Every structure is written in structure tokens, then in C-alpha cells.
Amino acid sequence: MTVRVAVAGASGYAGGELLRLLVAHPEVEIGALTAGGNAGSLLGQHHPNLLPLAERELVETTADQLRGHDVVFLALPHGHSAAIAAELGEQTVVIDCGADHRLDDPADWERWYGGEHPGTWPYGVPELPGARERLRGSNRVAVAGCFPTVSSLALVPAVASGLVDPEVVVTAVTGTSGAGRALKPHLLSAEVMGSASVYGVGGAHRHTPEMIQNLSAAAGQPVKVNFTPVLAPMARGILATCSAPLRKGTDAAAARKVYLDAYDGEPFVHVLPEGTWPQTSATLGANTVHLQVAVDADAGRMIVVGAEDNLTKGTAGGAVQCMNLAAGLPETTGLPTAGIAP
């Protein structure tokens, strides 16, 4: 089968990564490419790496341009997807790469994003409990945030099995592409190179409620999350170190078995061999999450380290994975598991 797709927000980082994957997807025909302020320019001006599409003109992001496609990816700023999606019929699969439809609780949306809650769609991390069934055949999908993707996959087996107390700490190092393509002084090369800095400290990052939502659903009880993001001098990638108080009677072997069982057969989540630790470079360009589990017996804590490419598995790859499920294609179609190195 051939799936005709459109990408809204094609000039941004997420839109470019979507197109990189879709160009190689054997069941996809790429239709309209839209943009906001960059409408009227050629795609190659923004993504010279996308040679097969370089001469394609970007058009205005309107419902009229997006209608008639089987699948529409919305790689738009937060708060812009809901209005466009509302104008597209039920026959179109709409995959929102923004935050508009991720949160279940309207109060959480109003607190973290402001305005009226635009509604909740099936959540786009297929590996989470029950998610794959909800995504299969769905015509609306909310792609997860990049931090919640790796952190949730790192912690869900622990909280779901009762290995740890429901109080977790996540410290995640990320590259600058997670902030999008808009010019920001603190993301200039002169500011970033040779330096690391924190931001969104003290429960101030918008991805925190998403992590709480995912982990609490898996645990069957409220889970507290303390999240600190760290900006590092690299373009892409996330390395998340996650820990929680270990319940008595659990050793490293038992903890590792929980993770091996939880992700047995999952094509994109890999528990690495003992003694091997995740690194962002190994996931570059791949739709994968690499995990390693450890127990700090002296501190009484379990530690899980996870790595992903924030633009691939953390955004665009996760979106294409969800498209495959929604469209009835094999889930792994068109998605790389081999990273780019060195």
C-alpha cells in the first residue's frame, strides 16, 4: 500500500527529520510540505541534506493545503496544532509532534501551557503498557516529548513492577536541537561550546507533567518526579540518568531481569549487555533507546541510564512508528535501528 503524507512545519528540525525518514520509507508518497514564515522558499534552503526534496517549494500551513492526504504530520509550535487538526476530517490520520494533545488532565494543560485544553489523543510511545493497542488504527496520535520518551521507557518497568518507591529523579543531558530552530541567544555557538548549563530547574520544565502522567499510569499510583534538564554542547541526543529508592530485597540481577523481560522482543528498546553504558552517539539517527540498569546498594537506589536521539526516537522516528501502526503497516517499516558513527 502507498500512504500519501503531508508535513506541516517542514522547515524546522522536527519537520526535516520527519522528511529524512519518510524519503526512505518504502510505503510513503510525500505530498504537501508547509511552513509558516518560510513559505515560498525551497526546502533545500533549510535542509540541504534532503537532496531528493531540495527543489520542493514550501507552501502556507493551511487546512486546504493539508486535506486529501492519508496522513498529516504536524511539526508545529505548541498551541498551533489543535486548530489545524480540527479542520481535517476523520478520514485523515493526524499525527501531532507538538504538545497540544499529550496531557490527560485539562488542569495540567492550563498550568503548563495556558489556554483551553484542546483534548487528549492516543499517546505516541508504543512500548508503554497498552499504548500499542490504542495506536493501532487510530486517526489521531499525540507524539510524546523527547525527554518523556527516554525517561518513561527507562523507568516504567521499575515503577510498574514495584521495584522502587514512586519517587524518581531524572537528570537528562540534551543537545541544542531540542529547543527548535528559532534563533535564541543562549543557543548560539559562542554560548554553548565548551559549556554545560541547567534550565527548567525545580519542576519548571513542561515535560515534567508528561513524565508524571506516564509513570503514574504504569505504577497504578501517583509518582513524584524531580526533573533537571542539562544543555550540553552537542546538536542532538539525550542521555537521561534516572534513579529511585530501591525496595528491600532487590539485587542487581533481579532488577536487570525485570528490564530484560519488559523489553523482550521490542525492536527499538535495547537493554545493553552488562558493563556497557548508553551513549548518545550510538543512537544518532536511529529510532532506538539504549538502556542500562544498576543498583547502588549503599545508597539504596536503582539507577537506569537511557540514551536516544531526541529528533529520531524522541520525535520524528516515534511519529513514523506511530504512523505505521495507525496505517496498518508493519511497525518497523522505514525506521533505522543502526546509528551513525563516528
What is the set of active-site residues? 146
Q: What are phi and psi of 315, to 5 degrees?
A: -150, -85
Distance, CA of 278 to CA of 257 (rounded, Å)? 18
Q: Residue 181: how many CB atoms within 10 A of its CB?
A: 16
Is the distance from CB of 239 to CB of 307 less than 8 angstroms?
A: yes
Dihedral-angle region of residue 251 (phi above 0 means left; psi in -120 to 50 means alpha; beta otherwise):
beta
Helix/strand/coil percent split, the chain, to 5: 30, 25, 45
Distance in Å from the first CA to the final CA of the chain: 36
- Look up residue 308 and give its three cell numbers: 536516544
Is the distance from CB of 309 to CB of 286 less than 8 angstroms?
A: yes
Is the distance from CB of 78 to CB of 98 less than 8 angstroms?
A: yes
What is the CA 116 to chain-centroid distance, rounded? Answer: 24
Instruction: List, as one string, the DSSP characters of 270-323.
Output: EEPPTT----GGGGTTSS-EEEEEEEETTTTEEEEEEEE-TTIIIIIHHHHHHH
CA distances, 329 to each of 72, 190, 232, 260 (Å): 16, 45, 37, 26
